Structure formats: structure tokens, C-alpha cells
A = this chain, B = another copy of it.
């Protein structure tokens, strides 16, 4: 038992090797079904005997057989004759999440793990695979919601106050620091705001809508990447799709902003040289450009993260919102001030 713990401890966190157990049931292909059932009836330490692995004299994996097929078979047949000869397997160093996902998709009770020589070194059970994926999902959700994920912190009421502050405060302060950029953009356009306070009224809409559309794209692309449905080579197809979506959402938001300014801003201060329609058009164009760009940033940042081998989930949550805010506010002020000819006194 101690040897086993030491052996498993050798594998890097996040690999199939660290997820596997060495408590599995194996048989020689030459064993008869009757003998196999007798041996399995005496096997009490294996985590599962519902899928049994066949190894040759050098412990190389040569097949797998389901207990279900064994009890249905002639007791005198050899287990090798019933076996799947090239069963789905994981390698020691592959990602635990990839291996777990493959196992669960196969609907099998367990998957063998082999080393570089093809030697059977352990198995991953469906139970452990399910736990591994659930933990990975919690970790992603925590990144989406600006929380430092600590394993085992899932009992909300039991987490001590200091640990609670430790998992929440760093992200909040980091994002507030990054948010200074957005404040800086507003600072650059302070004179424009002075001249045209109505521009301040649409700052929340630009920031919120940009964040929302960017998060939508990022979330969908992230899930597609995580499940292996989208790879780096699909970048062009993703861009093509998101350009269409971005244009559609931009058009909708253009109309929305236009109607809002025209219909609901009668009380606002408008300088003598401008009409409400001028302002409505400028704000509509600015918001729709910001929306379009936010959609593309949201779709491309997770792919860029994959390309440089950074966890893409980091660029899909509040970090993305912060980036999109800065870019959105910059575009908003650039476009409205240019279209409305607001003088920027520096």
C-alpha cells in the first residue's frame, strides 16, 4: 500500500498518471472464462472488476473484457477470445481531463493507463473520471467569477474567513488595478465629457454590453476548445462565424441605442451646434463598433491563449470584461468625439 502511494505520487498533477489507481484486475488471455470468474470472485482490492484488462507475460496491455461478457460466455472458452484487442487507453503523461472525458464518452467502467512501452501501469475508473471533470468545471467557473480556486474549498460555510478573503481579494484588487486603464481612457476624454455630458450617460451601456457580448463569445469558444470540438486550426472558421454574429448584434444594438437616444433623451443637455439626431447617430455607431470588436476579442482571446499554451479560461471571465471595457470605452469616445466634432483641449 505504501509502495503504491509512492509510485502514484511520482506523477505530475494534472496527468492521467496522477488520476489512475493501481488497484485493478488483470488476467492472462490464456485463462479460461471459468477460471477467470473464480479469480475475480476472490479479487477484493481492485476498484472495479467490471472491466478487466489482459496482459502478456511482460505486463503489456493486450486487451480488455467486460465482466458482463464473461458471465455470458462458455466457461471453457479463453478470455483472450472474448476480448477487445485494442481497447481505448490513456498514457501516463496525457492530461487527466482529456483521459477522463474520453473514458466517460466511451461509457465504459474503466480505462487502462500504459507507459511508453505499452505496459499496463494502472486504470482510471469512471467514478474518478467524473470527479476529475467536475473539479475542472468548478475551477473554470471560479475563473469566470474571479475566485482563486482551492481544491476542497467546496463547502462554502466551512471555509474560514481568512481563506475566504484569500480566495476572493487578489482577483478583485488585480481587476481594480487593471480597471485603472478604463479610468485613464475616461481621463483622456475628460474635456469631451465636459463639453458633452450626455456621453457619460452611455458609458455604462458601452461597458456592460461589450462585456456581455464578449463573454458570450468567449464562453462558447472556450467550451468548444475544452471539449475538443474546436482546435487552433479552426480559427478561421471561428472568426468567420463570429464576424457574422458580431455584425448582427452590432446592427441590433445600433437600432436600440438610436431609439433610446431619440426617444428617451429629451431632458438631456444638447449644445446649440448639435441636434439630438447627430448625437443619436454618433452614439449608435460607436456602440455598434464597440460591440462588434468585443465579440471578436471574446472569440479570439481564448484561441490566442491556447496558441501560447496559457489556460484559456483565464481570458474568458472578468479579465476579458476588463480588456473589453477599455477597448470599448476608447472606441466609444474616439468615434463620438470625431463624429460630433468635439474639441479635445489638451
Contacts and interface: CB of A to CB of B under 8 A. Distances in A.
Interface in A194-211: 194, 197-198, 200-205, 207-209, 211
A216 B68 contact: no
A3 interface: no
B208 A321 contact: yes
Contacts of A215: 145-146, 318
B157 A234 contact: yes
B197 A193 contact: yes
Nearest to A38: B71
Contacts of A204: 179, 182-183, 186, 203, 207, 325, 329
Contact of A50 (B109, B161, B216, B329): B109
A344 to B, nearest CB: 13
Contact of A183 (B37, B40, B179, B201): B201
Interface stretch (A5-13, A76-84, A87-95, A260-268): A260-268
A249 interface: yes
A210 to B, nearest CB: 10
A149 to B, nearest CB: 11
B156 A230 contact: yes
B208 A256 contact: no
A322 interface: yes
Interface of A: 37, 40-42, 44, 49-50, 67-68, 71-73, 104, 107, 109, 126-127, 130, 133-134, 137-138, 141-142, 144-147, 154-157, 161, 164-165, 168-169, 171-173, 175-177, 179-180, 182-183, 186-187, 190, 193-194, 197-198, 200-205, 207-209, 211-213, 215-216, 218-221, 223-224, 227, 229-230, 234, 237-238, 241, 244-245, 248-249, 252-253, 256, 260, 264, 267-269, 318, 321-322, 325, 329
Given A127-B107, A203-B204, A204-B207, A157 B230 contact: yes
**Oligomeric state, in copies:** 2
Query: Of A127, A221, A249, which is in contact with the most chain B CB atoms at under 10 Å from its CB?
Result: A127
Nearest to A178: B208
Contact of A223 (B154, B183, B201, B321): B154
Contacts of A213: 168, 172
Given A168-B249, A252-B169, A264-B180, A269 B200 contact: no
A61 to B, nearest CB: 22
A229 B141 contact: no
A272 to B, nearest CB: 16
Contacts of A253: 172-173, 176
A252 B169 CA distance: 8
Given A109-B109, A145-B219, A156-B224, 12 more contacts: A50-B50, A141-B141, A146-B215, A161-B245, A168-B249, A172-B209, A172-B212, A172-B252, A173-B256, A190-B269, A208-B318, A212-B318
